[in-house]
Each structure stands twice: as structure tokens, then as C-alpha cells.
Structure 1
């Protein structure tokens, strides 16, 4: 019997390429599974164990050159629907060089005994060091029963803190986080995209994480800890990573305490108006996630009776986001490889993957805009074009083979050639990877004379999702090069519509 080694090789290569496409499909299926869990939040939640509970809350606010926003933030804290004798605000002035000290001292006089100005003479070490300075002072006496960590620019809606503290009535809950909503008064295309992203990533995804029992991250601008939990994790915030909020979240759950997302506690935040500022912010977050992934490598996919971070479902969700650019590139490689092998499977798996992606996209967007109708109404264009116009065209190609590359040109009287059809096929197979490159191009051209018009156009065409994936690729590169991990604060100018 003669073995046809060429055929064996082709079969083996086809199997590998199919595996590549399968990897690319994992994030789609993971997203679908997660969003299918969201409706169960109506019956699987923490509200049965929540109870009216108004502990003495110390608010620690890190502030470096926040003179434009800190005054309004303090005023809004003072007007919360919360007993005045149970709320104290500690503003940690991180050696600010603007008028932050004067503004905070003014608030200290305006609200005697309720607002405290703490000054660090040595600043610039990062948010975690600043927080630890304030936390250390708060822990010096027994007054504090719960600690709220927030950012200097955010605005808490009146009932937000009260909605959060009720979950701490259950001693098994160590920390609670809120819904950070994009709250800029003068919204542009980018802040509307960010607003839609926050609905998907918080109001939707974190509801699903509540159902599954493991939360990925406490929002940095809204994390409420019980005193017991704070002391259990060491009485301080980790300073070795750019993702101190994620590490705090993990450490809380690893010690057997629950972390809860409260979707009805709304906190408004000012978000970047330009791609360059967004890139800087998200690069810090993405590099922090790289560090967290490595730090907790012994947690992933190791189920535990103490916590649920090791559940396979949570691990798949985490790595589906963390390795999404890798999955996208593997998917394109697999499809192009199958096409070059002239395998009929190329069309089959392409259609299967993109039809599933289209159905998932429609389901998640429809569900998300119902969860936050206000953002949905303001950002309906961004909701529709979140994956980008080109990706929507690719979805149409998957649903209706031959429509765009053959039938439409014929109707328009454009000659259709085998070369043209092959070029179109290669384009749609490669697009999921090329989209990240074009998203990076939108950042590059933003600073040019035509960038004001061209960058928004590119993002609508390419998609906001690919832009975030491009940032993740940048984080891979910078971590691989061991570039300095510096806390780079996003500039805020007080644009929140409070």
C-alpha cells in the first residue's frame, strides 16, 4: 500500500487551518454565551441578601492637578442621599502644582469635619501610592466601616452610594462596584462610542458576571470595600501593576468574599474626546491586564471551592478579550490558507463564523440599548456601527454569497472576472485582521490637517471594536519590549454633565 504523503500533508494542513478558524470563533461564542446569561440576572442576583445598610463611609479621592473638577465632585458627594454624619471625604492631593490645594481647602472650610485635605509632598508615583496614603490615614482610627475609592472627576448620582452600601449588609460581600457611565456634556463621535462600549462592558457583561459569580474588575472610579475586606487584602492597594483595581478585585474573591456589580448605582465620568487620549488610557488598562494575566496564571481554569475565578467559563471570557487580536489574526490566516488550498471548507467555515458573529452582534446590541435606553438613544449610530461598516458588509456577504461580488456588479454593468471574485474573497477573509491596521491609521491621521474629519470617518467604517484591539496589540508589544510601565493620567477638564 502506497501512502500519498502529499495528500497526508494537505489533510494535516487543512486540519491546522480549521483549528485556526475555530480559535477565531471562540470569542464570538464566548460573547454569545455571556450575553445569554444576562436575562438570568433577574432571578440570579444578590438583591435577596441585600438589606438597607448605611455604614460609616470614608471616601478617598486621589487628586493630582484636578482643580478643574475636584470642587464639583466634592459638592456632589456632599449632596448624596446619605446621612451626613456617616460620610467623610478625604482628598489626597498628590503634590499638585495647580489650584487643587486651594480648591480642596475651600471645601474643607465649607464642609467642616466632612471634608479633609491630605497633602503628599512627594507626588507622581501613581494612583495606587496616592490611594495608600489616604487609606493609611483612614485606617488609623475605628470610625470607618466602609471605604469608597473614586476618581476626582466622577459625579455620583444622588442615590448611587446608598444603592451600593446595601450589598455590604451581607458579610459575605467584600466589595461593590457601580456603573461608570460616559457623562460628558459635549459629546462627540468618540465619547458616544465609549458610552456604548460601557453599556456592553458594564451594564451587560457585568450583569452576566454577577450571574456566574465571578467579577473581572471593580471600576477604578467606584469601588466600595467593607473594612474587613480592606484589612483582609492587606489594608492597601497593590502598587506593582497598572491594574491595581483588577488586582484588588481578584484578591477579594481569592479570599472567599463576593464582589457585586450594582447596575442601578450610576456614576458619570468624563471620557476622552480624541483617539490619542483614548489610546493612552486604554494602553495603560491593556498593559495592566497583561500583568494580571501573568500574575494569576495559577488561577486560570483551576476550579476552587473558595472562589469562582478558576471556573472554565470565566477563564474563557477573560482570554477571549485578552487574546482577541490573536484570535482575529488566526481566523484570517485559517480562512486564507483554506482558500489557497482551494478547499470548499473555506466558504463553509467563513459563512458559519460570520453568520454567528452577525447574530451575536444584533442580539448584544439590541439587548444593550434596552439596558440603558438613554445611551442607546444618544448613540444609536455608534451602536449600529460598533463593529464598523465594512464588517457589516462582510456579514452581508456571509448571509448572501455572490450578492456583492457577482450579482451587484452585474446589475451595475460592471464586468465580473474570476480574478476580481478571488480578490474580493481574500479581502473579506483578511478583513478581520486588517481592520486593526486601519484603526491604528485613524489614530495616526488624527493629528493631521484632515484628521478632524478623516479619523471619525475611518472609525465608523473600520469600527470601534478594532480600535480597542489595536490598542491591545500595542500593549503586547510594549510588554514584550519591557517598556517602562508609567502611570499616565488622562487629562480631565470638567466636561461631565452633572
Structure 2
């Protein structure tokens, strides 16, 4: 049994290290060319008046406390007002959301729509019926945009093959330990999203401010419920239809993070469950060369990350239980015996598992430092990074376990 466990550990660590090194090499190989291209396009778009028309859809449901700030952030975008339309869709709110957004009823840029509650995907599809712009995107009602975000994203559509562009999402004013952990997690995600874009393997177009060519929806249809992860499903469908999805790492969007463990648990349960269910729906893309790096590397790596996290968490729990049993047995046999601490300065653990783990940790630290540079953080390594490394692997199994249970026993998750 020990041999089997050790063999699985070797395989997981080797694969994790391989993927980590592959992502780092990919990033440093494409970084300079990509940054130079983005800088040139940004400069061009700051001078040109030939900008495409853009519509932003904001689906809202009981968002009376956050929606105003969301709308004001859109109105402050550095983009020609005559080229920017904003659609606010009230999806059957039961609070004062509809009353709150009435203050924009006379604003020529903003169109207010109201419908019966049907879920986010129905609100987006309803608004799409009124959209006639070149580009269309969405923004969650608890998120806020950087004034330059839209121009930076639009510049990416200079590539005629580009069909959608994703931003970088950061936590808005993180509070407490949970907020800081999420801050580091989102910053880490900025690096991954950039690497996935280099590999043409993005499989999520985040709800906060992903922008599409309107023709995408004419060609492959509108949003689906998709297990309450419509932003993942639409990206998977685009990839299946060979549509290019890009990323602009300095198009920053700020989102409000869950402030307590239960809210975080509910959100991440929905995300992981949605990934697993969409992975099943699109299982034909896994390990298929025609889907490039997405099918051969990124999707398998995403599934592997869930399995490996659960495996190591389970191993850790079993190790704690075995240690506790051993300690109890020793106490019952010889009583309390406080042994002195023996430090051998010339001892070095040459176990291959320890060595691979050490290299993997160094790779993770390099990714964290690199991602903080992409996120334009002041410090290369902050308190949030330390908390993320200490606690995230202890928290993630909470929602991963439940998500796997829900998939196996066909139990659906709720949005909130």
C-alpha cells in the first residue's frame, strides 16, 4: 500500500513540475513580443478616432448596494460616448434595484431593461436582442472597470482573427485574511490567463468585462445556463469552433470578494462544480490534438489539479490520524516522554520527493513574483502571498469535495 501511495505521489509531483515549468517557459518566450505589440497598439488607439462601437451588458439581480458604482465606473471609461452603449438588465430583482437604476433613465448612453427572473444567461441573451454594435461585453454588477480597460481590450481586436478578449480581474479593497487570500489567488490567475492566451487555450471568458465580437453570438448562439457557469461554457464552445480568445493583462477589473467563509464556499462550489460538469459536457476536447494546447495540456492540467489537490489533502489527513494514533499508543505504553530536539547541521534529505517538491515550490514562488508584476503590484511578495501559500490548499478541498459529491450524485448547485 505504501509503495502504491508513493508511486502516485511521484507521478503527481512530476506532472505538476512539468506543467509549471512549461507555463513559465511559455510566458518568458512570448512576453517581450506580446508586451511590445500591446504597447504599440495602445499608442495607436490613443490617437485614432476610428474605434469600434461597443455595448456593455450589466445583468443585475438584487444589486441595489453595488450597481451604482458599477455603472459610474462604466461612464468614466476613456472611450467616445457616442461609441459606447450600456444595457442594464434587471432580472426580476426583489429589492430596490430597479428603483435605484431609474436615475439613469434619461441618460442617452444607458438603456434600462426589465424582465422576469430567469438567471444571468437569460438576462444577457435578452439584452443581446437589442445590441447592434461591433463589439459586445458584459460586466457583473459587483465589479468596476479601470478607465483605460476598454481601450486596451479593443486594441487587441486589431487582429482580425480575435473573437473575444479577456481582462485581468483583481479584488476590490480586500478585507481580512479571506480577502487577502483571494487577492493573491486572483493575481496568480492573471499569470495563468496570460499564459493560456499565449497557448490559445483560454477556456473561461470571465463575467467581469470579457469583450466579444457580436458575430460570435450569431455564429454559435447565445449564452446557456451551463450549470451556472455560462462564462466558461461560452469560451469552451468558442474553442470547439476554433475561435481565437485573447487576453490583455493590464485591462484591470475590480470585483467584490466574498467576505466570509460560507459565501466563499458557495461561490467556489459553483465554480468547481461548473468546471467539472462543463468538462463532462466537452469531454470530447480532452487529449485531442485538433484542439491544440487546450485539449492536450490546459484542460487535462485543470482536471489534474482538482485530483491532485484532493489526493494530497486526503494523504495529509491520513498522516495526521496515523501520527495521532501512534502518539496515543506511545503515551499508553511508556507515558509522556519529551524527547530533545536533535539538529544535525550536516544532514540533507536526498529523498527524490523532497527534491521535486522543493523545485516545485521555487517555481510557484517565481510565478507569484511574476504575476504580481503583471498585476502592477507595488511589492513583489506580500502578506497576501504568504497567506495564500499557507491556507489555500487547506480551504480548496472544502468546496472541491462537495463539488465532486454533487457531480457524482447529480445534485445541482445554486447561484447564491
Q: Return the alpha-carbon distance in structure 2 between the equivalents of residues 45 and 258 of structure 1.
A: 16
Whether 2:253 is the aligned partner of 1:267: answer yes
Residue 329 of structure 1, CA deviation: 5.3
Matches within 5 A, 1:180-329: 180-184=169-173, 187-202=175-190, 204-234=191-221, 236-304=222-290, 307-308=291-292, 310-328=294-312
Q: 1:71 to 1:315 in 2, by over 3 A?
A: closer
Please, what TM-score do these two structures have when normalized by structure 2? Answer: 0.84
Could you tell me which residue of structure 1 aligns to residue 167 of structure 2?
178
Deviation string 1:390-409 (CA, Å, 9 cap, x unpaired) is xxxxxxxxxxxxxxxxxxxx
Distance 1:273 1:14, change over 3 A: closer
Moved more, 34-43 or 47-56: 47-56
Q: Does 1:91 align with 2:88?
A: yes
Report the CA distance shift for 1:74/1:224 in structure 2 as closer, same or farther (over 3 A): same
Equivalents in 1 of 2:255, 2:32: separation in Å? Answer: 30
Gaps of 5+ in 1: 1-12, 337-345, 389-462, 489-498
Q: Indicate conservation of the 8 Å contact 1:21/1:335, yes or no.
A: no
* Match in the other structure for 1:130: 123
Count, aligned residues = 380
Residue 118 of structure 1, aligned match among 104, 110, 113: 113
CA contact (8 A) 1:34 1:208 kept: yes
Give the SS at the match of 1:222: coil
CA distance in 2, matches of 1:290, 1:320: 11
Displaced runs of 4+ in structure 1, greater than 3 A?
A: 13-18, 43-53, 329-336
Contact 1:242-1:287 at 8 Å conserved across structures: no
The question of whether the paired residues in 2 share the 8 Å contact of 1:58 and 1:144 is answered with: yes
Q: For residues 211 and 99 of structure 2, what CA distance do their matches in structure 1 show?
A: 27
Deviations 1:194-252 (A, max 9, x none): 111111112x1111112222112111112100011221121x10123222111111111
Aligned-residue CA RMSD in angstroms?
A: 2.7
Q: For residue 148 of structure 1, report the CA deviation from its aligned partner.
A: 1.1
Q: Is the 8 A contact 2:54 2:135 kept in 1?
A: yes
User: Partner residue of 2:354?
Assistant: 351
1:209–1:240 distance in 2 versus 1, CA, 3 Å: closer
Normalised by the length of structure 1, the TM-score is 0.71
Question: Which residue of structure 2 lines up, in the alignment, with residue 365 of structure 1?
Answer: 368
Please tell me whether Structure 1 or Structure 2 has the larger radius of gyration of its CA atoms.
Answer: 1
What displacement does 1:374 show?
2.5
Q: Paired residue for 1:475, among 388, 403, 407?
A: 403
Unaligned 5+ residue runs, structure 2? 321-348
Query: Aligned partners of 2:314, 2:91: CA distance in 1, in Å?
Result: 45
SS at match of 1:272: coil
Give me the whole-angstrom Cα distance separating, in 1, the residues matched to 2:160 and 2:306.
32
Q: Which residue of 2 aligns with 1:152?
A: 141
- The answer to whether the 8 Å contact 2:313/2:394 transfers is no
